[in-house]
Amino acid sequence: MNIKNKKRISTFVLKLTDENNIEYFFKEIPLCIIIKELLAQNIAKLVGVDNIKYSRFQLDGIDGVISESFIEAGYHYMTGTELLTNYIRDTRNENIELLYNESEYNDKYSIKANQDLYIIWQAMEAKFKNYPDYENQILKFMNDVIDMMLFDLLIANGDRGPYNWTIKYNDLTFGLAKVYDNEYSFSNS
């Protein structure tokens, strides 16, 4: 592969563009983590979870994994963190207060603690209630989220916070983007 452009998008991730203008993501990780990522990918395939396809790759002498970009033309993307932060900030409604009393609320505003299926469902309804057939789309989305969570249990992935799942949407449809970032799987912690 001939790389024509490299852009660092986070501490360990580079966005690459090849000579055919195909975009890739390269994640710098050691061999023991590469093995976990590739093993999790194969298990995802076996259990029917739509996971990004990774390949082992070395860039400028650095080990890691590479994947084609999961960004599809015509879609927007939002992380679970963005969805939940916006929902909690904009509503602060009685349902959240019932789940998290006010004395705990400020501590739980860290969002990871709010990765609760009920809150995710409410946030999705608030965001997408004007979409056609939104009830069925939310049901499919929630089933995909549950499948992702069961997959994480199966592979012992303790790092699926809302920053590690993404919603793809356009003017008519929405859903869970491909699952990614399984590097903390199969660990003792």
At 134-152, the pLDDT tens digits run: 999 999 999 999 999 999 9
* pLDDT band, very low/low/confident/very high, at 1 (cuts 50, 70, 90): confident
Which residues are paired to 76 by β-bridges? 169
pTM for this entry: 0.84
Alpha-carbon torsion, ordered 149, 177, 183, 120, to 10 deg: -40
Round the CA-based radius of gyration of the chain to a whole number and report it. Answer: 18
Lowest average pLDDT, out of 92-96, 106-110, 160-164, 173-177, goes to: 106-110
Q: Per-residue pLDDT for 37 more than 70?
A: yes
Q: What is the pLDDT of residue 100?
A: 45
Q: Per-residue pLDDT for 159 more than 80?
A: yes
User: Quick one: average pLDDT of 47-72?
Assistant: 94
Comparing CA positions, the residue from 36, 28, 31 lying closest to residue 183 is 36
Terminal-residue alpha carbon distance, the chain: 37
Q: Cα(11)–Cα(137) distance, rounded to whole angstroms?
A: 34
User: Quick one: average pLDDT of 12-37?
Assistant: 93
Strands (DSSP E) found in 30-131 = 55-59, 62-68, 76-79
Q: Per-residue pLDDT for 97 more than 50?
A: no
Q: What is the pLDDT of residue 81?
A: 87
Q: What is the pLDDT of residue 35?
A: 94
Q: Per-residue pLDDT for 77 more than 50?
A: yes
Q: What is the pLDDT of residue 80?
A: 92
